[in-house]
Amino acid sequence: MKRMKKVFAVLLTLAMVLGMSITVFADLGTAVIPVNGAKEGTQYQYLQLIRPQASESTGWEFVNDAVAGNFTAALQVSDAQTAIWMLIKSQDLSITGPADVTAATEAQIKAAITNVANGGYTLSEAAGTITVSDAGMYYIRATAPGYTYNPMAAYVSFGYTGGVPSSLQTQGVTAKGTEIKTEKSSDEVNKVTEIGRTETYYVGSIVPFVPMGDTNRSYIVKDEIQGAEYIAENGKITLTVYYGAEGTTLEALIASVKSENPPAAEGAFTTDVTGSSFTADLSTILENNAHANQPIVITYQAKVTGVTAGNKVSIGDGANFSQFGSGSESLFTGKLTITKKDSSDQTFLDGAKFLISKGAGDSKKYAKFNTDNKFTEWVDTESDALYVTAVNGTVTVEGLDEGTYHIEEKVAPDGYSINEKIEDVTLSVEGEAAAVLEGTREVLDTKLSSLPSTGGIGTTIFTIAGCLIMVAAAGLFFASRRKSAK
């Protein structure tokens, strides 16, 4: 906008000069309009908006009525010369001119240039550089893969020799561009989830500027998911939309939407779910370019069904689905492997049954698994939980979240005692998970003590010893009575 201000800074002086014969400017050469700060490889198109006109009070005129209408509508006036005076006064309130004309605001000037950008005009193609042969104001459209640029306006002025215009000069314009990127994330900072959990997915991107006159003004979101199923009603998923104010970064908007006090949603779309994907037409987001170059966040939900959940999104114009960027999010669960062995010879033991829980006291929960040993839910009582059984001495349960898990042996293999001192297992990750979390615990059991079988020493020796003790005791008793009788 500062560059645009300079466009009009010398208009009044030029108007005075233009009062002289227009033939003075017959051969002023050309000027190259530099676009500063643009990405390498950016292509340009341009259109002259205002040109010299000595017969007008301002010394300038719009090139045609349509362009004049773009400015008068934005500046809310009916006369083209009044609009130009407003542009002049926006730079210097001390400039004399119609007393009843107020200065144009920055918002009005921006709206005028946006009106031009949306006007569907035929633009001149710049062959690498923008070379012009007339003074005035120019609209510039810049395009580059992966970038979106604000509409730009540049001013070409006169150079003087001896007080007479002798050349064309310009300081160019500074491009304001934003990388069009699309990001995918969830609430899981470390990328760890558990089966059965409903996750909110966040698609962050930058709304591109697409002139209203372009033949393809589509904005299509395509999403694919594995290891999860969309939360849909009657086969339709709801997408909620949030926009960031001008100047807000995409990262700041995503953080705000994820916070405990998110901003109010500004739109919602519903679209059909087809198996493990959906394609949503959100082209109304581009209407009038009202949100051009602003960050946008689109949210929706899915329920985790697998040990990993992969989600990929791309945004494009329908012909190129990733034109406006793509992103992905992968979430992982944890698995716990228990091995059952004989404490003496390390032989693997079958048939042991285990109970897995987390927490303590009133907050203790018991894990429930399906027949494939994949986690299904947490229950409050042991009786509602499901024991998992070791086969070939091993049992692995999957789909768990990070955390500390208690393992209880509820049934020991035949001929073995229950191990009541099994250490807890903790599933954790440093930073972000890139694979399924794994935890292991080896449980050792001892054999039960047993009475000897037939063919051993038996119980006879114990019976004889008991009888001898009884006989000895009786003998001592009678002997002591005889002694007392004497």
State the burial class of residue 70 (Cβ atoms within 10 Å of its Cβ: 0-12, 13-18, 19+): buried
Mean pLDDT calculated for residue range 220-229: 97
CA-to-CA distance for 5 and 363, rounded, in angstroms?
65
**In terms of CATH architecture, what is 180-332?**
Sandwich (2.60)
Mean pLDDT calculated for residue range 338-367: 94
CA-to-CA distance for 10 and 87, rounded, in angstroms?
11
Start-to-end C-alpha separation, the chain: 137
Share of the chain above pLDDT 70, in %: 87
User: Considering only the top CATH level, what class is 334-445?
Assistant: mainly beta
pLDDT score recorded for residue 3: 44
Strands 31-33 and 198-206: unpaired
Q: What tokens does 163 get?
A: 């007080």
Q: Give the range among 73-87, 158-172, 265-279, 357-371 with minimum mean pLDDT.
A: 158-172
pLDDT score recorded for residue 91: 74
Band the pLDDT of 177: cuts 50, 70, 90: confident
Ramachandran angles phi, psi of 364, nearest 5°: -70, 135
Band the pLDDT of 94: cuts 50, 70, 90: confident
Asked whether the predicted pLDDT for residue 159 surpasses 60, the reply is yes
Instruction: Tell me the range of 116-125, 142-151, 429-438 where mean pLDDT is highest.
Output: 429-438
Q: Give the range among 16-25, 58-67, 204-213, 269-278 with minimum mean pLDDT.
A: 16-25
Q: Do domains 180-332 and 334-445 have the same CATH topology?
A: yes
The answer for residues whose C-beta is within 8 angstroms of residue 199's C-beta and 6 or more apart is: 186, 187, 188, 193, 228, 301, 302, 303, 304, 309, 331
pLDDT, one tens digit per residue, over 372-384 is: 999 999 999 998 9
CB 304 within 8 A of CB 333: yes
Secondary structure letter of residue 384 according to DSSP = G
pLDDT score recorded for residue 213: 80
pLDDT score recorded for residue 133: 93
Tokens 């689905």 found at: 321
pLDDT score recorded for residue 157: 87
pLDDT, one tens digit per residue, over 296-327 is: 999 999 999 999 999 999 999 998 888 899 99
pLDDT score recorded for residue 457: 52
470 or 354: which leads in pLDDT: 354
Q: Where are the domains of the chain?
A: 2-177, 180-332, 334-445
SS3 at position 269: strand
Mean pLDDT calculated for residue range 227-249: 94
Mean pLDDT calculated for residue range 431-440: 97
Q: What's the mean per-residue pLDDT of the chain?
A: 88
pLDDT, one tens digit per residue, over 259-274 is: 999 999 999 999 999 9
Q: What tokens does 408 get?
A: 């209880």
Secondary structure letter of residue 348 according to DSSP = B
Beta-bridge mates of residue 132: 31
Q: What tokens does 39 get?
A: 């990405």
Query: Contacts by 182-189 with C-beta closer than 8 Å and gap 24+?
Result: 182/313, 182/314, 182/315, 182/324, 182/325, 182/326, 182/327, 183/250, 183/254, 183/327, 184/311, 184/312, 184/313, 184/327, 184/328, 184/329, 185/254, 185/329, 186/329, 186/331, 187/258, 188/331, 189/432
pLDDT score recorded for residue 84: 94
Identify the H or E element spanning 83: helix 80-89
256 or 470: which leads in pLDDT: 256
Identify the H or E element spanning 258: helix 250-258
Q: Give the range among 74-83, 84-93, 230-239 with minimum mean pLDDT.
A: 84-93
CA-to-CA distance for 210 and 283, rounded, in angstroms?
11
Band the pLDDT of 467: cuts 50, 70, 90: low
Q: How far is CA 478 from the centre of its chain?
A: 100
CB 271 within 8 A of CB 195: no
388 or 465: which leads in pLDDT: 388
CA-to-CA distance for 273 and 231, rounded, in angstroms?
10
pLDDT score recorded for residue 22: 41
Q: How far is CA 387 from the centre of its chain?
A: 39
Asked whether the predicted pLDDT for residue 23 surpasses 50, the reply is no
Mean pLDDT calculated for residue range 157-163: 86
CB 416 within 8 A of CB 394: no
pTM score: 0.78
Please choose, from the candidates 5, 84, 86, 89, the residue with its C-alpha nearest in 3D space to the C-alpha of residue 52: 84
